[in-house]
Structure 1
């Protein structure tokens, strides 16, 4: 029988709050092997308290109480890295890679938390720099047919299907044509010339959006809902949490789901976990 590797990713919007509101109940039922977290906004002691018995890697932000990524696993990682881009890029607490051995094969799992951005501000400049650095790193991760998956809150809705109210957001960070064009290139045919939604051209990298491949051309399923108004109840959401896999790993996908909370009152974060099964 093949070994099933279950990888889940979720922006916890603060690990202490998530633990207090019921994350443990979901985790007990989810039967996850590798869990990637974003926006941890806590210290190592808070991760240990929320995830007893797990092997935990973390990358904290320079600014206390902000960002922070982690990878918790039932498997022992063989290596980890936090470097993305050059020293000018503020990537602390936003990029964490871990290698695992699964049935004799190396699998690299990344927990990524891309900047939210804000049009015409330094925050957007940071986001452009981060997306540029990802564009450089992705081909390196995919070299020689590697099994790699970039998971996390990437803070961009790639297509109109990924945002319920896309018409009202075309000029806002998270759905800017230039942001979406990065995804056009990342997910475009490897080596082909890709014209992005913003009209620019670039080389396709050949990565696979597991959620879109699995569900096809349907709205969502969304992974984040605003805390304002009735966004959750009316499912007026965004699909900004991803598992982007190299083609060899994408071929091993057997199941994909978004664990949307049963009700607004039962939410332990404003995002929903994205859970994928890979067969080895």
Structure 2
């Protein structure tokens, strides 16, 4: 889960544990802002809160649950990338975050750890990932620099990239309007399905190969985002 907008005292016992799943959280220092979490039926062997970066750790943007055994080193990461749409200052913060997290993920990948980063990345990678791509070429979320960053992240390690896989596109390579996960609250965007695909599962290749199905839940609306679910054939 991303963009919790809650502090630890705000979470009642019914929100700390849901249907037998224990919650682990990284709260922002600012009230009503950001925050990420992971709910898990299996107790992690370690929970890492934050990237070790003062600027972004204060904003509650990264939580990694590790499930390590003699046979596997696996991480589940919840991450909320900054949005740069509100101002140039926030766009520059977004670029700083991208510059900070890319080598972190590459180092995890090079270490041999399998992981999936699930999060609101606030970037539509390709023209197929948003309805009105021509009208957004100069807008945050579809800027050339952001899209190039995504391309590098999804480039194999031996070609100088981050070596990760966009799992939804791995399972659904064809372009369809069903891929969108976010809609503006303005201009009846949701009713007209004028959306963006900015929520991702970004996985190491070994883990991505175990993905069997991906779906975007739209039967009920919880926010301006729709939940993205991927089923993996892997045990913790």
TM-score norm. by structure 2 comes to 0.90
**1:115-194 matches, cutoff 5 A:** 115-118=82-85, 121-192=88-159
Residue 47 of structure 1 deviates from its aligned partner by 6.0
Separation (CA, whole Å) in 2 of partners of 1:91 and 1:170: 31
Corresponding residue for residue 63 of structure 2: 96
1:279 aligns with 2:233: yes
Corresponding residue for residue 219 of structure 1: 176
Alignment length, in residue pairs? 230
Per the alignment, do residues 107 and 136 of structure 1 end up closer, same or farther by CA in structure 2, a change over 3 Å counting?
same
Residue 233 of structure 1 deviates from its aligned partner by 1.7
Residue 241 of structure 1 deviates from its aligned partner by 0.3
Instruction: Work out whether residues 157 and 240 of structure 1, in 8 Å CA contact, stay in contact via their aligned partners in 2.
Output: yes
Separation (CA, whole Å) in 2 of partners of 1:170 and 1:222: 17
Residue 216 of structure 1 deviates from its aligned partner by 0.5
Corresponding residue for residue 5 of structure 2: 41
Corresponding residue for residue 251 of structure 1: 209
1:207 aligns with 2:149: no
Per the alignment, do residues 39 and 148 of structure 1 end up closer, same or farther by CA in structure 2, a change over 3 Å counting?
same
Corresponding residue for residue 230 of structure 1: 188
Per the alignment, do residues 163 and 226 of structure 1 end up closer, same or farther by CA in structure 2, a change over 3 Å counting?
same
* Secondary structure of the corresponding residue to residue 92 of structure 1: coil
Instruction: Work out whether residues 82 and 93 of structure 2, in 8 Å CA contact, stay in contact via their aligned partners in 1.
Output: yes
What is the CA deviation profile of residues 58-103 of structure 1, one whole-angstrom value per residue up to 9, with x for unaligned ones?
Answer: 0111111100111111111111112325335455311111112589
What is the CA deviation profile of residues 134-171 of structure 1, one whole-angstrom value per residue up to 9, with x for unaligned ones?
Answer: 11111122124321011110000010000101111110
Separation (CA, whole Å) in 1 of partners of 2:22 and 2:70: 19
**Runs of 4 or more above 4 Å deviation:** 88-91, 101-104
Per the alignment, do residues 277 and 47 of structure 1 end up closer, same or farther by CA in structure 2, a change over 3 Å counting?
farther
Instruction: Work out whether residues 91 and 130 of structure 1, in 8 Å CA contact, stay in contact via their aligned partners in 2.
Output: no
Separation (CA, whole Å) in 2 of partners of 1:275 and 1:64: 28
TM-score norm. by structure 1 comes to 0.76
Q: How well do the aligned residues superpose, as a CA RMSD in angstroms?
A: 2.0
Instruction: Work out whether residues 115 and 127 of structure 1, in 8 Å CA contact, stay in contact via their aligned partners in 2.
Output: yes
Show structure 2 runs of 5+ residues with no match: none
Instruction: Work out whether residues 50 and 57 of structure 2, in 8 Å CA contact, stay in contact via their aligned partners in 1.
Output: no
- Ranked by relative contact order (alpha carbons within 8 Å, sequence separation 6 or more), the top structure is 1
